Chain A
Amino acid sequence: MTAASPPVIDLPPAVDPADHARLRRTYEPIRGFYAWLASVDHKSIAKRYIATCLVFFALGGLEAAVIRAQLSRPENGLVGPDTYNQVFTMHGTTMMFLFAVPIMQAMGLYLVPLMVGAKETAFPRLNALGYWVFLIGGVFIYTGFFLNAGADAGWFAYVPLSGPEYSSGKRVDIWAQMITFTEIAALIAALQTIATVLKLRAPGMSLNRMPLFLWAQLVTAFMVIFAMPSVATGSLFLSFDRLVGSQFYNPAEGGDALLWQHLFWFFGHPEVYIIFIPALGFISQIVTTFTRRPVVGYPVMVLALLVTAFMSFGLWVHHMFATTVPQLGSTFFTAASTLIAVPTGVQIFCWIATLWLGRPVWRTPLLFVMGFIAVFTIGGLTGVMVASVPFDLQAHDSYFVVAHLHYVLLGGAVFPLFAAFYYWFPKITGRLMNERLGRWNFWLLFVGVNVTFFPMHRLGLEGMTRRVYTYLESTGWGTLNLVSSVGAVIIVAGMAVFVVNLARSWRGGAVAGANPWDADTLEWATSSPPPPYNFADPIVVTSRSGLWAYGDEIPVLQGLRTDLPQVLVTTVMDAEPVLRHIHPSPTIAPFVMAVIIGAMLIGGIFTPWAYPAGLVAIGVPWLMWAWPRRRSYEHQEELKGTFSLEAPI
Chain B
Amino acid sequence: MKPAKQVGVIHSLPENVFGAAALTWWAVVSLMLIEGTTLALCAGAYVYVRQNYYEWPPAHTPLPDLGIPSINLALMLLTIVPAWWVFRSARAHDRGGVLVGASLQAIMGVAIMVLRYFELQAVNVRWDTNAYGSVVWGVLVGHAVVMVTDVMDTIGLALMFAIEEPEEKHFVDSCENTQFWYFVVASWLPLFFLVYLYPRLG
A→B interface (CB under 8 Å): 10-15, 122-123, 126, 187, 190-191, 194-195, 198-199, 225-226, 228-230, 232-233, 237, 240-241, 244-248, 250-251, 253-256, 259, 262-263, 514, 525, 527, 536-538, 540, 550, 552-560, 566, 568-569, 571-572, 577-582, 615, 618-619, 622-623, 626-628, 639-647
Of the candidates B45, B128, B130, the one whose C-beta lies within 8 Å of that of A259 is B45
Of the candidates A233, A254, A641, the one whose C-beta lies within 8 Å of that of B52 is A254
| A582-B45 contact, Cβ under 8 Å, with A557-B9, A577-B13 | no
B112 to chain A, nearest CB (A): 16
B124 to chain A, nearest CB (A): 16
Of the candidates B20, B41, B142, B153, the one whose C-beta lies within 8 Å of that of A263 is B41
Rounded to whole angstroms, the CA-CA distance of A236 and B170 in the bound complex is 34
Rounded to whole angstroms, the CA-CA distance of A226 and B164 in the bound complex is 38
Of the 9-residue stretches B31-39, B63-71, B90-98, B191-199, which lies at the interface with chain A? B31-39
| A13-B14 contact, Cβ under 8 Å, with A230-B41, A254-B132 | no
A-B contact pairs, 9 of them (CB 8 A): A246-B133, A255-B130, A550-B2, A553-B5, A557-B9, A577-B13, A581-B22, A639-B11, A646-B7
B→A interface (CB under 8 Å): 1-17, 20-23, 26-27, 30-31, 33-34, 37-38, 41-42, 45, 48-49, 51-53, 58, 127-135, 137-138, 142, 148, 152-153, 156, 159-160, 164-167, 169-170, 173
A245 to chain B, nearest CB (A): 4
Q: Is the CB of A226 within 8 A of B33?
A: yes
Q: Is the CB of B38 within 8 A of A232?
A: yes
Q: Is the CB of B156 within 8 A of A622?
A: yes
In the complex, what residues of B have CB within 8 A of residue A14's CB?
A: 4
Q: Is the CB of B131 within 8 A of A254?
A: yes
Of the candidates B6, B13, B138, B152, the one whose C-beta lies within 8 Å of that of A237 is B138
Q: Is the CB of B34 within 8 A of A229?
A: yes
| A229-B41 contact, Cβ under 8 Å, with A540-B7, A581-B23 | yes
Q: Is the CB of A557 within 8 A of B8?
A: yes
Q: Is the CB of A579 within 8 A of B17?
A: yes
In the complex, what residues of A have CB within 8 A of residue B53's CB?
A: 254
Q: Is the CB of B128 within 8 A of A246?
A: yes
A359 to chain B, nearest CB (A): 23
A220 to chain B, nearest CB (A): 14
Q: Is the CB of B128 within 8 A of A245?
A: yes
Q: Is the CB of A557 within 8 A of B48?
A: no
Rounded to whole angstroms, the CA-CA distance of A233 and B48 in the bound complex is 14
In the complex, what residues of B have CB within 8 A of residue A514's CB?
A: 1
In the complex, what residues of B have CB within 8 A of residue A622's CB?
A: 152-153, 156
Rounded to whole angstroms, the CA-CA distance of A234 and B38 in the bound complex is 10
Q: Is the CB of B26 within 8 A of A198?
A: yes
Of the candidates A259, A553, A628, the one whose C-beta lies within 8 Å of that of B4 is A553
Q: Is the CB of A641 within 8 A of B11?
A: yes
Q: Is the CB of B17 within 8 A of A578?
A: yes
| A122-B23 contact, Cβ under 8 Å, with A255-B134, A622-B156 | yes
Q: Which 10 A-B residue pairings sit nearest by Cβ, starting from the closest? A: A13-B4, A645-B8, A254-B131, A553-B5, A559-B10, A255-B131, A245-B128, A559-B11, A246-B134, A10-B1
Q: Closest residue to B10 on the A side, CB-wise?
A: A559
Q: Closest residue to A525 on the B side, CB-wise?
A: B1
In the complex, what residues of B have CB within 8 A of residue A233's CB?
A: 38, 41-42, 45, 142
In the complex, what residues of A have CB within 8 A of residue B133's CB?
A: 246-247
**Of B8, B38, B42, B129, most A-chain CB atoms within 10 Å:** B8
Known contacts A256-B48, A540-B8; 17 further A-B pairs (Cβ under 8 A): A13-B2, A15-B4, A123-B23, A187-B34, A191-B34, A240-B127, A246-B127, A253-B129, A256-B51, A525-B1, A556-B4, A559-B9, A559-B11, A622-B153, A622-B156, A639-B11, A644-B8
| A615-B148 contact, Cβ under 8 Å, with A13-B4, A556-B6, A559-B13 | yes
In the complex, what residues of B have CB within 8 A of residue A246's CB?
A: 127-128, 133-134, 137-138
In the complex, what residues of A have CB within 8 A of residue B33's CB?
A: 225-226
Of the candidates B10, B13, B30, the one whose C-beta lies within 8 Å of that of A194 is B30
Rounded to whole angstroms, the CA-CA distance of A641 and B132 in the bound complex is 65
Rounded to whole angstroms, the CA-CA distance of A569 and B17 in the bound complex is 11
B26 to chain A, nearest CB (A): 4
| A558-B3 contact, Cβ under 8 Å, with A246-B134, A254-B52 | no
| A253-B130 contact, Cβ under 8 Å, with A229-B41, A555-B5, A627-B160 | yes
| A628-B30 contact, Cβ under 8 Å, with A11-B1, A13-B4, A244-B127 | no
Q: Is the CB of A253 within 8 A of B45?
A: no
In the complex, what residues of A have CB within 8 A of residue B16's CB?
A: 579
Of the candidates B48, B131, B152, the one whose C-beta lies within 8 Å of that of A262 is B48
Q: Is the CB of A13 within 8 A of B160?
A: no
Of the candidates B6, B34, B49, B156, the one whose C-beta lies within 8 Å of that of A254 is B49
B61 to chain A, nearest CB (A): 10
Q: Is the CB of B48 within 8 A of A259?
A: yes
Of the candidates B2, B8, B129, the one whose C-beta lies within 8 Å of that of A646 is B8
Rounded to whole angstroms, the CA-CA distance of A122 and B41 in the bound complex is 28
Rounded to whole angstroms, the CA-CA distance of A580 and B9 in the bound complex is 12
In the complex, what residues of A have CB within 8 A of residue B10's CB?
A: 538, 557-560, 568, 577, 580, 643
Q: Is the CB of A554 within 8 A of B11?
A: no
B153 to chain A, nearest CB (A): 8
